[in-house]
Chain A
Amino acid sequence: MQVLSFRDPVGFVVRLDKQIFRIIGKDSCNDLESFLSSDIGKKLLNKEKVIATRFLKQPEKKEIGYRISLKEEEFEIVEHKAIYFPSYPYEWAPEMIYTAACLTVDIAVDILPAGYTLKDATPYNIMFEGPNPILIDMLSFEKRDPRDSVWLPYGQFIRTFTLPLLVNKYFSLRMPDIFFSRRDGIEPEDVSHFCGSLRQFLPPFLSIVAIPNLLSKIQKKKDYGIYKKRLEEADEIATFILLALFKNIRKQINNLKPVNLRQSIWADYAKNNMSYSEDGMKVKDRIVSNFLNEFRPRQVLDVGCNTGYFSEIAAKAGSKVVAIDSDPVVISSLWRKAYEYKLDILPLNIDLTRPSPSIGWLNKECESFLERARGKFDAVFMLAVKHHMMVTERIPMNEILDLAAELTTRHLVIEYIDPKDQMFKILVRGREKLFAYLTRQSFEKAVLEKFNILRFERIEGSERYIYILSLKGIRHD
């Protein structure tokens, strides 16, 4: 059993094998129960805007309660649909933060007329299934006082959605820069230091940076008066104010929508790629397509996915794809493509030579990339990436193959690039001696430690070979 979420005192989330359960105190599950049976709850569930959730009944509840060692009379247990590959904001492209922000506000607006509100608004409550965001924190839904015109998570929303998008757009800060060091987003005061003295008084900084920053300084210490509940005279005034607030937030994030400035350069990447001739690319395409048709991997990890050319082929062949790359720009454009064309690809900004660590309380709150990825994929693609890992990052070849053997449960499609290759030479920058040992024979010898070679093919007109490998000792069930 693994505890996944514990910050909310009302309940916590555990994983048992592949199932996700949320344990909720008996007194606290009324809001969730009524929300799930409400029209708006059903609508959001049907549209897959919120995670599929069901209350456990006896005897299932008793069995799960026993496995978690709980006194079942004190708790209710709900099961959530498990997200295939959990990811965190520091691995997302700005576009993904943007779309998660839109989902959060849209849900807040949709549930308002039915008398509900969100008590949290943070990207940690959103996960991606393929390129699509889903709200996973079902305990965020609570009944609101109809006369209450304050949306308490407003500050959290600005810190974790609006301001990260703002500093990304104006100061090119990436999501890892923000979310690795700051769990709860970026403060207006931090942003004011980026802006400088004058710029913060101009839009769009004025209302979300300068004014809140000045107000927090003017605010007397130990004056808790502002946190007292304020109720309007009538329900309609509170609704009017909240709708105006949500409209304002939506307008702000719309103005901060990430723009893919380098789209045109990357759109033609495959064509401009000097490593392959047009025929060479066709050969590579054919080898990968044949592999997909023959072995039909259910899940594929595409390491160093670049424009996502092969991720796209795999997704179209019916695989669930997680595509990782260290370049945030390609992750942005791949996410746009996957979202637009409804491809089952989850693009993440991850460098496999420096993968996301496990962070948070006790280093257990957000699992490391490798903990999440080990054994999760039927096939791993390492196409035109091994030489980057070996030369630029100086990771030994056998270590790369060992890791690949941990990530895949069945196959590895890997490209061998000979030191005679033009790109290899560029990357080596005169350190050829370091790679004198590297030949196709030494590569094959290293491969055979963990894998069987099913076949390989040379990409004509290049010093590149594609190998289809199968893990030694795989179970064929």
Chain B
Amino acid sequence: MKTPSKDEIDSIEFDLLLEAINRSYGFDFKNYSKAHILRRLTYFQNWNGLQSFSQVQDLILHNKSKMKELLGELSIKVTEMFRDPAFYLVLRKRVIPLLKTYPFPKIWIAGCSTGEEVYSMAILLKEEGLLKRTQIFATDFNEKAIEIAKKGIYAIDKIKLYTVNYQKAGGKNSFTDYYHVRDNRVEINPELRQNVQFALHNLVNDNKFETAHLISCRNVLIYFNKELQNRVIDLFSDSLINGGYLVLGMKESLLFSSKAGMYKTIDADRKIFQKRLTGE
């Protein structure tokens, strides 16, 4: 009998752990970036004082709250209000005017994490007089993140950055109009989420969510492999109306999608795409 090498054991334990997570809790990470998942799992393993992925597997199979913790570790929670201000500038100039032509525009923010992008979008819509008649669907697979998004309460230390971002993004008012400070935390005005529906949705295996005029999915696809990226773009293409807009993160593209031909590039640098009208 041969002895398995350390590399072989590592690889087996990794595959089995992903299988265990999928079969027990229904989250499939097999088409995520392996480097990303390995980094996160290793961090979780060390944080919990464990020696191997087999021990991680044992822990999460028998302890749901530990699985929730691990899920938090595997999801990307780094987000900010008006991240990439130049993107919001272009969105305001090139996309909002067309959204205005629809009586009841629908926006899907996929992978909304803790909600900062949702509130940025709501502020933009409010300043363009579009908030009241727009429905925003904000989804994420991480329950904990959605809970934070719903509350709209954030750490105060970020507000300086967000204020600068807001101004660079072409903000028309004072950023303080949109929040108040309580107990040293920032509470976003509840008015901004009047038309926001937060929901659990996993891009990996859930289906089309809503028919939308604009889909925003920024800095999510980078963590997926090409195959999964392709699936998600298909999902978006099915959900968008003809002439609808798809916006991605600064380093993301439609390069690996078989549906790339369905889109016109509105702004290559800011990753703003428009689904073609039929016959266009």
| Chains A and B form a bound pair | no
Interface residues of A (CB under 8 A from B): none
